[in-house]
Structures are given as C-alpha cells and as structure tokens.
Amino acid sequence: MKKNILMTSLLCLAVTMTSIAQKLPKFGADMGMKSAMGKEVRVPYTDLASYYGYVKAGATPDEERDGKKFYYLYLWVPVAAPELGIRMISPIPSGMEAGEGDFTGADYEANKADDKNYFDTWITLEKAAGVSSVDGIAVSASAEWNTFGKNDDSSELPEQPSGSKYNSQMRITSDVSDPLKALTMGLYRIGFTTYKKGEVQGSFLAQVGAPLKLPGSAISATIEGLLEQVKK
C-alpha cells in the first residue's frame, strides 16, 4: 500500500512539474480560420522552424534605424508560400530548449541558462528584391529590402516576466497580384529590436510557420551562415 501511495505521489509531482514549465500556444494560420463560440479557431502550421538565440549586453547591432538597434535573422524560403507566420518570445520559455532540427545562434549555448534578461520584442519581415535563387544569396548585400509587415505586442502569446504581453507575432498573407507582397521563393529577413530605445539583451525564440512544408528552408543570423545551411 505504501509503495502504491509513493508511486502515486511521484506521478502527481511529475505532472505538476511538467505543468509548471511554460508552454507556447500552438501557432495556427489565418488561412482557414473559423469562429466557434466567439473564439478564433486556427489549424496549426504544417511547417514550423525554430531559432534559439541570445543577444549579449552591448552587442553590435546589424543596423541602427530610427535610433533603435536592429538585429537580423536571415530566412531562406525555397518555395512560394500562401502565408508565413512569424513570432518572437523573450526570454525563451522555461522548459524549452533547442532540439534536433532547430537552428541556434552563436551565443545561445553559453547563455541558455540566463532566464533573467529579456527584451520587449518588436519584429519586422522583409524580402530582398531580385534574390530568387541560392546563388543570389551571396550577393544580397546590395539588395533592396521590401517590408511585408511589423508587430510589437501580441495578446496571443504568453506574458513576459514583467507581467506584460510584450512578445510579438504576425501572420503575412501572400498577395500574388503585387510582386512586392507575394511570398515567393527567395531571401527574407526578420528584423528585431526593442520597442523602447535602448539595449536588446537576453534570450529569445523566433519561430516561422507556414501552412505547407518548406523543404530546404533555413534561418541564420548571418548571410554566410545561411549559405552554409542551404548548401548542406
């Protein structure tokens, strides 16, 4: 009897500890969205790529725009997509860490235990004009970037340690009638910074979702790293 009670207690503890680990809600598409009992119901993206990263204090930004320090994640999309979903969470939720098939930043492993530093995420999605093949990635430094969208706060995502829902999420639908708004095969970048002017510091998880499989897609913080990924 005592043994059974002990096993039951351990099982309950395990369930409790699992529930404590913060989980992200499923990332669903706008395509096919329905309303049921006053709630939006979305089918989860078929393809979901995750990038685990960390920005050190004082890290040199990729660019300064409007007085803010911007960092980029480069994204290769190998086929046309009807929709792309982008979301960024900081800090990385407890209980989550990079696994097989995930992409990671250079400073992630050394700092993944840091759950104290985080930032108020603000994201954009842009596409490089004229880059429609892997060979074009290498010469993309001079490319013009077209903006698809931006987002600051999303009520769909978990709150940050401050208690505020300052994580970011957006869904972009392809507009095939406009070459600048069509989600065709090509080079994209996710720009991220903090809403308020200041330092971007801490861990973050960026995810890219699509309603169809994107075989050969890749994410990297550098063009060189992206080329290495897509040529594997």
Q: Tell me the pLDDT of the chain (232 aa) as tens digits.
A: 444 443 333 334 333 333 334 578 999 999 888 887 777 889 999 999 999 999 999 999 999 988 889 999 999 999 999 999 999 999 999 889 999 999 999 999 999 999 899 999 999 999 999 999 999 998 888 899 999 999 999 999 999 999 999 999 999 999 999 989 999 999 999 999 998 777 899 999 999 999 999 999 999 999 999 999 998 8
Cα 75 vs. chain centroid, distance in angstroms?
Answer: 11
Q: What is the pTM of this model?
A: 0.88
**pLDDT at residue 21, as a whole number:** 41
Is the Cβ–Cβ distance between 153 and 167 less than 8 Å?
yes
Distance CA 103, CA 109 (A): 12
**pLDDT at residue 90, as a whole number:** 97
Other beta carbons within 10 angstroms of residue 33's beta carbon come to 12
Q: Which residues have a Cβ under 8 Å from the Cβ of 185 and sit 6 or more positions away?
A: 77, 78, 79, 80, 132
Per-residue buried b or exposed e for 119-141, using 16+ beta carbons within 10 Å of the residue's own CB: bbbbbbbbbbeebeebeebeebe
Q: How many helices (H) and strands (E) does the chain have?
A: 4, 13
What is the residue-wise DSSP string for 190-222? EEEEESSSS---EEEEEEEEESS--TT-EEESS
Domain covering 45-230 in this structure, CATH number: 2.60.120.510
